[in-house]
Amino acid sequence: MSTSMDTFVSEHGQRLVDFAYLVTRDRDVAEDAVHAVLARMAAMEFASISNPVAYARRGIVNETRSRHRRERKFLTIVPELAVDDVDKGRVDVEDRLVLWAAFDTLTKRQRIAVVLRYYEDLPDSEIALILGCAPATVRSLISRALRALRPLVEETDTDE
């Protein structure tokens, strides 16, 4: 294994898993997707990849897309709502539940765009590179996603 690849994995590997997990919301699919992409990169000449992080993210998007098609019926229950402090959870766990339920209603591309913007803090141009679309499309995706999320989340606030 080349040192460059090892360095890349140690610097960015976990972040890539986080990204895959947030997009797929499935621990196993995320882990497998990242492993598959890293294995593919390891089999290539690492120096020939001009932007390894973008390449990996793009690979993960493609990988999870095909895996989701195959495995959709068997998504597992994952503990993303877990909290360390039960008292803290008592206050906001229902709000969080609603937010994640609303997040699940987004399209795959909207979820990817939202994760890249609000988790990875990437600019539109880089998100566009990963999604293979124009920056204006990214803005549109995020705008539509927020528009879709807002009423669902606000509806709960009103109920309370």
Enumerate binding residues for another protein (CB under 8 A).
1, 9, 13-14, 16-19, 21-22, 27-32, 34-36, 38-39, 42-43, 71, 73-83, 86, 89-90, 93-97, 99-101, 103-104, 114-115, 118-119, 146, 149-150, 153, 160
8-state DSSP, 73: G
Contact partners, residue 84, CB within 8 Å, separation at least 6: none
> Rounded to a whole number, what is the distance in angstroms from the first to the last CA of the chain?
55
Asked if residue 38 lies in contact with residue 56, where contact means CB atoms within 8 angstroms, the answer is: yes
Tokens of 151: 């009423």
CA-based torsion, 96, 65, 78, 39: positive or negative: negative
In the complex, the smallest distance separating the C-beta of residue 94 from another protein, rounded to whole angstroms, is: 6
Q: Pick between residue 101 and residue 134 the one whose CB is nearest to another protein.
A: 101
In the complex, the smallest distance separating the C-beta of residue 129 from another protein, rounded to whole angstroms, is: 20
The number of residues making up the chain comes to: 160
In the complex, the smallest distance separating the C-beta of residue 160 from another protein, rounded to whole angstroms, is: 8
In the complex, the smallest distance separating the C-beta of residue 46 from another protein, rounded to whole angstroms, is: 14
Q: Pick between residue 3 and residue 43 the one whose CB is nearest to another protein.
A: 43
